[in-house]
């Protein structure tokens, strides 16, 4: 196992602390006028999602945690189990609904996602940042309503509901940012 020090922290770096896998969200090297330097760190527990802030001595040592991100294709769901196919072995891997995250509501069948695991234990899923989906239900925009930034609700082919501009109609294919759930634009 590789060892890293708090002085080596970078955004996105994963390390083991007290048996938990942590990911650096933000860090700041602080050198006060008096006293020893320290590293102020905001980090997320990659398994539970909990965020904490702590200060470390820059020489504090941690085991580097290698999180495996594997491309898998979403196939289907059966109740609370969602099945993903390993692209190399064609094995089906079931994931519980609570592992999927909020962005999964924009994922349709046959979409490639990254399944996250640590030492063989799957703990999460990364969906593509942008997806193209068809609007399946949306009321027509009111005629003469020309105010800017007016939105209306629309239901997408995955069942997710988002706000879209008035000119978007049923059957239109649009692009969504899965991190924010926002409409980006019409798909090319």
Q: If you search the block for the tokens 């094995």, which residue do you land on?
A: 91
Provide the 8-state DSSP code for 49.
-
CA angle 175, 176, 178 (to 5 degrees): 145
> 108 pairs with which residues across the strands?
none
- Residue 163 to residue 96: CA distance in whole angstroms: 28
Burial class (CB in 10 A: 0-12, 13-18, 19+), 125: buried
User: What is the tens place of the pLDDT at every residue in 117-151?
Assistant: 888 888 888 999 999 999 999 988 766 656 667 89
User: What is the tens place of the pLDDT at every residue in 33-42?
Assistant: 888 999 999 9
Three-state DSSP state, 51: strand
Q: Which pTM was predicted?
A: 0.74
Structural domains in the chain, CATH included, are 3-64 (2.30.30.30), 68-126 (2.40.50.140), 130-186 (2.40.50.140)
- Residue 43 to residue 39: CA distance in whole angstroms: 12
């Amino acid at each position: 196992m590789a060892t890293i020090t708090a002085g080596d922290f970078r955004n996105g770096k994963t390390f083991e602390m007290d048996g938990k896998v942590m990911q650096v969200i933000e860090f700041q090297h602080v050198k006060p006028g008096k006293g020893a330097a320290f590293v102020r760190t905001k980090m997320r527990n990659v398994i539970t999602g909990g965020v904490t802030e702590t200060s470390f001595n820059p020489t504090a040592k941690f085991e580097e945690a290698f999180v495996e991100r594997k491309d898998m294709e979403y196939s289907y769901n059966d109740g609370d189990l969602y099945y993903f196919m390993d692209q190399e072995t064609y094995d089906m891997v079931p994931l519980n609904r609570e592992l999927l995250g909020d962005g999964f509501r924009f994922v349709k069948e046959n979409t490639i996602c990254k399944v996250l695991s640590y030492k063989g234990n799957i703990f999460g899923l990364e969906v593509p940042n942008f997806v193209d989906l068809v609007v399946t239900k949306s009321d027509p925009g009111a005629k003469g309503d020309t105010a800017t930034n007016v939105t209306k609700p629309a239901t997408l082919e995955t069942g997710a509901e988002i706000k879209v501009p008035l000119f978007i109609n049923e059957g239109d294919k649009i692009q969504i940012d899965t991190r924010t759930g926002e409409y980006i634009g019409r798909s090319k």
